[in-house]
Amino acid sequence: MNRVAVTGLGCISALGPDRHAMAAALAEGRSGIGPLDPTLADRLLIKIGAPVRDFDPAAHFEEKRLALLDRCAQFGLVAAREAVTASGFDFRGEPGLRSAAIIGCAVGGMNTLDESFLRLYGEGAKRLAPLTIPKLMFSAACSHIAMEHGIRGPVFTVASACASANHAIATAFQMVRAGAVDAALTGGSEAVLTFGTLKGWEAMRILAPDTCRPFSRDRKGLVIGEGAAIFVLENLDRAKARGADILGEILGFGMSADAADIVQPSVEGAAGAIRACLSDAGLVPQDFDYINAHGTGTMANDATETKAIRTVFGAHADRLAVSSTKSMHGHSLGSAGALELAATLLAMRGGFIPPTANYSEADPQCDLDYVPNRARQGRIGTALSNNFAFGGLNAVLAVRG
Amino acid sequence: MADIEGTILNIIAEKAKVERTGLSRTTELRGLDLDSLDVVEIFFEVDEAFDISLPFNANEAASVESARFKTAGDVIDLVTEQVALQSGRKTA
């Protein structure tokens, strides 16, 4: 079995256009949550989100190509470029045959879908743009990333709602570890801040009207975000041999399903994925010092996740730092796990522990050390990154800096 | 406001799968067999019936100390208040 290194990282989110901006925001505990564009907010009850701001597609893509790219694919491509450049790994030519691109995406090209259906049903248009379908398909981001970098091995998208990115990263990790490929581009991309999508979320009545306050007693729900984070994974020995800058090592993953309820989370399901991850990585609770929690800011998730962590980590749970960076980059669904792995790796590199922003009040049901509001100086050695999804789909990664 | 009360009790009866005659303002919602999705659907049906947007967040309802919607009467009162408020806004 091969060891698997992360040699490149790229990201775009409410915390900024690249990894440097994200690292700075995390270290400052600065949240990217804020007002939505008035054209959206005017017709919504929930008027906040975590949007990618000041993004100019024309600065990244030629006009002709833009006609093919939903915002979701644009984010994925921008993050992938940054990751590949940072890694110094060239996928083109021979290496592309022995490489994978496996990207998480929960809902696909919603901007394209929303605009198209508005034209069709709302404005009575008789026809849609000819490239509507390849633009909105779930796998569009993944296909464009593979095309741009010449990746010709296993290329596919993973959809498991809010756990999509962790399932994707785990699958890519497994392929590199098993030797099925030598390298992979993996992560997640999502762009769901559209009127139609947000009306759907609004109807569930689980969006916070104020901000995202994970684990805080006065939490009122989640805040939808958008963005992408993409990683270059490589066989560790090969990465060392070429003198790559190694950001971290993926040690293992665990997956489980609650098989119980379409929205309510289960302690046993979450704990099962965490346990499976420790077992896959060959680690024990005492090996860990940080968990990047799923921490959505809903009543149900945060209490359940806390119990799951206590169930697996026992007394060591009180020695863990646990934070939810969704309090800063929002919940970007299919790319959430990727942004959270990025946050974890950037914090490891930066020598700090990212906080849970907007935390205001202790909740007896959430009694761990959530690193409230201010980042802490200190080295994270080994960490978990949790992702749990509607439908009870759980995926957990273990990583070492 | 009899028709607000009647409409809401009908909606609750339908979601809780109980006889409408067994429900009144004092019926405790926790005593009914409603899961979290039923509750969200009840609020959706009420919004639709009165063309309003009720300020209801499932997270607040789920918090232990929440006593805001203890009985059917609490929902009826909120809707009565919101119908007056939101219809006033529409004609203003």
A209 in contact with chain B, both atoms CB, cutoff 8 A: yes
Residues 6+ apart with CB under 8 A from A133: none
Amino acid symbol at B67: A
Q: Nearest 5°: phi and psi at A119?
A: -60, -45
Nearest CA distance, A298 vs chain B (angstrom): 6
> For A209-222, what is the mean pLDDT?
97
pLDDT at residue A90 greater than cutoff 90:
yes
Does residue A60 carry a catalytic annotation?
Answer: no
- Beta-strand relationship, A48-49 and A34-35: antiparallel
Q: What is the percentage of chain A residues whose pLDDT exceeds 70?
A: 100
- Interface A–B counts its CB contacts (< 8 A) at 38
Domain around B68? 2-91
Catalytic residue among A142, A162, A212, A277: A162
Helices A336-350 and A19-28: crossing angle in degrees, nearest 10, is: 70
In this predicted model, what pLDDT tens digit does every residue of A265-275 receive, in sequence order? 999 999 999 99
Does residue A144 carry a catalytic annotation?
Answer: no
- Beta-strand relationship, A376-377 and A34-35: unpaired
Greatest pairwise CA separation for chain B in angstroms: 40
Nearest CA distance, A191 vs chain B (angstrom): 24
In this predicted model, what pLDDT tens digit does every residue of A218-263 receive, in sequence order? 999 999 999 999 999 999 999 999 999 999 999 999 999 999 988 8
Q: DSSP letters of A387-400?
A: EEETTTEEEEEEEE
Q: How many domains does chain B have?
A: 1
The alpha carbon of A304 is separated from its chain's Cα centroid by a whole number of angstroms, namely 20
A219 in contact with chain B, both atoms CB, cutoff 8 A: yes
Of B40, B53, B60, the CB nearest to A220: B60
Question: Which of A205, A211, A218 is the best substitution to test chain B (most B C-beta atoms within 10 A)?
Answer: A205
C-alpha span between B58 and B69 (Å, rounded)? 11
C-alpha span between A145 and A80 (Å, rounded)? 7
Domains of chain A (ranges, CATH numbers): 4-241 (3.40.47.10), 252-400 (3.40.47.10)
Of B36, B56, B59, the CB nearest to A219: B59
Give the predicted TM-score (pTM) of the model: 0.95
Closest CA to A142 of A95, A71, A86, A80: A80
The mean pLDDT of chain A is: 97
Helices (H), A129-190: 132-136, 140-149, 164-178
In this predicted model, what pLDDT tens digit does every residue of A26-76 receive, in sequence order? 999 999 999 999 999 999 999 999 999 999 999 999 999 999 999 999 999
Q: Tell me whether residues A205 and B37 touch, CB distance under 8 A.
A: no
Model pLDDT, residue B55: 84
Cβ–Cβ contacts within 10 Å for residue A304, how many?
Answer: 24
Catalytic residue among A105, A294, A329, A366: A294
Q: Tell me whether residues B57 and A45 touch, CB distance under 8 A.
A: no
Model pLDDT, residue A237: 98
Q: Tell me whether residues A298 and B59 touch, CB distance under 8 A.
A: yes
Nearest CA distance, A163 vs chain B (angstrom): 21
Closest CA to A289 of A388, A394, A398: A398
Block residue for tokens 């309003």: B52
- Beta-strand relationship, A382-389 and A248-257: unpaired
Model pLDDT, residue B70: 86
Q: What residues does A257 pair with on adjacent strands? A: A393
CA angle A276, A279, A285 (to 5 degrees): 100
C-alpha span between A344 and A338 (Å, rounded)? 10
Q: What is the CATH number of the domain that holds B16?
A: 1.10.1200.10
Q: Between the CA of residue A291 and those of A184, A343, A378, A390, B29, what are the distances in Å?
A: 24, 11, 14, 20, 38
Question: Which chain A residues are closer than 8 Å to B55 by Cβ?
Answer: 45
Q: Tell me whether residues A203 and B40 touch, CB distance under 8 A.
A: yes
C-alpha span between A385 and A347 (Å, rounded)? 13
Does residue A212 carry a catalytic annotation?
Answer: no
C-alpha span between A83 and A148 (Å, rounded)? 13
Block residue for tokens 């030797």: A179
Closest CA to B38 of A91, A36, A263: A263
Q: Given 3-state DSSP classes, what are the helix, strand and coil percentages for chain B, each rounded to the nearest 5?
A: 65, 0, 30
Q: Tell me whether residues A205 and B40 touch, CB distance under 8 A.
A: yes
pLDDT at residue B60 greater than cutoff 70:
yes
Model pLDDT, residue B64: 43
C-alpha span between A34 and A13 (Å, rounded)? 13
pLDDT at residue A128 greater than cutoff 50:
yes
In this predicted model, what pLDDT tens digit does every residue of A305-316 receive, in sequence order? 999 999 999 999
